[in-house]
Structure 1
Amino acid sequence: MTKLRIGQGVDFHQLVEGREFWLGGVLVPHHKGALGHSDADVLLHAICDAMLGAAGLGDIGLHFPDTDNTYKNIDSKILLARCVELIGGKGYQVVNVDSTLCLQAPKIKPFVPQMQAAIAGILKLSAEEVSIKATTTEKLGFVGREEGVVAYASVLLEKAD
């Protein structure tokens, strides 16, 4: 039986005026926010997909469909916690997370420790086991034009003994 499994997740959201900008479970001040059925936290959604995929449980849309009003404007920290329960049901726990945010603005470096703490608390990890990096696209494409935001995440799961 495999004790370690790796998963990869990616999420994209359009940026629009008049929405709050949630990243990694933290409200980031910005003149635009991500558009989505939930709070549209791309980082948490990518982590959820990575976790679910590693455990062979499909993706976030399967478990929390945007056609279900139960998840309308839901805090994505709740979705992440539910993903912890889902993978736990198969005997897995998260070992670490490595993630990358792609956005032109705002600069998120000042918020990374808060994001790490929020995610680590839900995943029952230390903050140093949650890596969050960010990059711009050098003003190229929809990210560079500040029309959208992208997050990538990889997670390592371990089967509990």
Structure 2
Amino acid sequence: MNAPSTPTANPDNAANATTPAPLPALPALRIGQGWDTHALVPGRALILGGVPIAHSKGLLGHSDADVLLHALTDALLGGAGLGDIGRHFPDTDPAFRCADSTVLLQEAYRRVQQQGWRIVNIDSTIIAQAPKLAPHIDAMRQHIAAALGLQAAQVNIKAKTAEKLGPVGQGQAMQAQAVVLLAAASA
């Protein structure tokens, strides 16, 4: 996709119409953004960023419901112009029932790489009232980096509360947001 051009005078046209000037090449970078939310329910394991976390509730979903990895998968796919997680791994497909979200993330990244893109860095935020996530952030960063063949310094994870507001603040759900910077693999 190119930036808008600056019109220039066309001396061959009696009406002095304008024609676009040649466009400069754009950097081979793309940004992807992802978001996900899941309800917290008793009787399910809580897995965030591929890491099991002790808690009285887990996230409800067709797969393991890892809200962080789902947001990250959406960001990767979106950055490469490949749609979203539901298009590639639909919850109507029994093959993805109880699926490991790390496997889905890796498959999404494989598809992104096939399009000629690589990850520069990841920035993400988990929004949850409980449990405290700070003790688990480093393990999540390490897990995601290893799963995607990155250095941990390329993966950032922040944890925030919802200040007791709404379903997340009442401990009924969790949300995650992720942004991914992609660069052309040849760059």
TM-score, normalization by structure 2: 0.85
What CA distance in whole angstroms lies between the structure 2 residues aligned with 1:129 and 1:89?
21
Structure 1 spans left out of the alignment, 5+ residues: none
Residue 145 of structure 1 pairs with residue 187 of structure 2: no
1:156, CA displacement in angstroms? 0.4
1:127, CA displacement in angstroms? 0.8
- Structure 1 runs (4+) greater than 3 angstroms displaced: none
Residue 99 of structure 1 pairs with residue 124 of structure 2: yes
Q: 1:35 maps to what in 2?
A: 60
* RMSD (Å), alpha carbons: 0.8
Task: Mark the structure with the bigger radius of gyration.
Answer: 2
Task: Return the match for 2:71 from 36, 43, 46.
Answer: 46
What CA distance in whole angstroms lies between the structure 2 residues aligned with 1:86 and 1:2?
21
1:2, CA displacement in angstroms? 4.8
- Equivalent residues in 2 for 1:79-118 (5 A)? 79-118=104-143
Structure 2 spans left out of the alignment, 5+ residues: 1-25
Q: 2:20 maps to what in 1?
A: none
What CA distance in whole angstroms lies between the structure 2 residues aligned with 1:107 and 1:129?
23
What CA distance in whole angstroms lies between the structure 2 residues aligned with 1:110 and 1:127?
16
In terms of fraction of residues, the more helix-rich structure is 1
Number of aligned pairs?
161
TM-score, normalization by structure 1: 0.98
